[in-house]
Amino acid sequence: MSILVDKETRVVVQGITGSEGRFHTEKMIEYGTKIVGGVTPGKGGQEVFGLPVFDTVDKAVSEAAPDASIIFVPPAMAADAIMEAAAGLKLVVCITEGIPVLDMARVWHYLNDRETVLIGPNCPGIISPGQTKLGIMPSPIHLAGSIGVVSRSGTLTYEVVSQLTQVGLGQSTCVGIGGDPIIGQSFVDILRRFKNDDQTEAVVMVGEIGGRAEEDAARFIQAEFDKPVFAFIAGRTAPSGRRMGHAGAIISGKSGGAADKITALKAAGIHMVEDLGFLGETVKRVLN
């Protein structure tokens, strides 16, 4: 079992005719993802890797029956692409970085009345190793197993997964939720899914400075989550008021600092990893 996606998930790629969309579509196909078509306005009727290209998501839904969408479109058009996909699909993964916050505010309100699950934006996507991937993550580092991974950082996700695989700990599902101020799925949303997933026996969570997502996760874990959780917080030396990497990674006044997040996570009984270089070894030692 995995969360959100599996080997039967049928995927449409928005922006499939662009360079990034085309490149990552090929990699997803090589991994075994069931790509059933693409969407690029004005290019309907074309083909990419033998897959049909449609002008709209609605057309793709009616002719190719996808379950999910992955988005590779420029920031100025990404919010509209998300809402277009959400009108007909239950899962939308948005890779695009740099979407204006006001655009995402519109998306947030639009999704409030819908059951669509949004992952991202500004994220690496989601992968259930050995089954399917909707994202840009390097496939070879993943190994099927029982460790769930959820992270605000793409590159740190890769580091964590690589370490887990090297010590023989496979992953059930890995989700990059994104580092923007307004995103779809939160830590709590993904943790709730891992809680109900029989395959997932433990979770690694990678947070960073900015916002209160990690504190919210700590409260949820303490109250409702009974599986082992390991966490790392990036940005412990970041100065106040300076954005570090992600648009949401900024300490504002007394809010969003690493120390408060670490304190909250420790209080919830979470295994904190101080040195990311030892995360894989730490998880293996504790679980064994």
pLDDT, position 259: 82
Three-state SS annotation for 239-288: CCCCCCCCCCCCCECCECCHHHHHHHHHHCCCEECCCHHHHHHHHHHHHC
| pLDDT at residue number 2 | 77
Region 5-21: mean pLDDT is 97
* Identity of the residue numbered 55: D
Among the residues of 70-176, which ranges form H helices? 75-86, 101-111, 154-166
Tens-place pLDDT, residues 142-169: 999 999 999 998 899 999 999 999 999 9
| pLDDT value of position 252 | 45
Dihedral angle computed from the Cα positions of residues 96, 101, 106 and 111, in that order, rounded to the nearest 10 degrees: 60
| Paired strand residues for 13 | 38, 70
For residues 182 and 263, what is the distance between their CA atoms, to the nearest angstrom?
24
Amino acid at 267: A
Structure pTM? Answer: 0.92
Query: Angle, nearest 10°, between helix axes 154-166 and 279-287?
Result: 50
Are the C-beta atoms of 36 and 51 separated by less than 8 Å?
A: yes
Residue with tokens 């928005």: 14
Give pLDDT, residue 49. 97
CB 271 within 8 A of CB 229: yes
Collapsing DSSP to helix, strand or coil, 54 comes out as strand
d(CA 25, CA 70): 10
Q: What is the reported pLDDT for 281?
A: 96
CA angle 88, 89, 91 (to 5 degrees): 155
pLDDT digits (tens, 9 = 90+) for 266-286: 999 999 998 999 999 999 999
Nearest alpha carbon to residue 228 among 167, 283, 168, 157? 283
What residues are labeled active site? Answer: 246
CA 269, 271, 273, 278: dihedral to nearest 10 degrees? Answer: 170
pLDDT band at 253 (very low <50, low <70, confident <90, very high): very low
Domains of the chain listed by start with CATH number:
10-119 (3.40.50.720), 137-287 (3.40.50.261)
Average pLDDT over residues 163-189: 96
> Residue 30: in which H helix or E strand, if any?
helix 19-31
Region 173-197 average pLDDT = 96
Please answer whether residues 69 and 85 qualify as being in contact, where contact means their C-beta atoms are separated by less than 8 angstroms: yes
Distance CA 284, CA 31 (A): 27
Share of the chain above pLDDT 90, in %: 84
Average pLDDT over residues 233-261: 57
Measure Cα distances from 211 to 179, 207, 243 in Å. 10, 10, 12
For residue 97, how many other CB atoms are within 10 A of its CB? 17
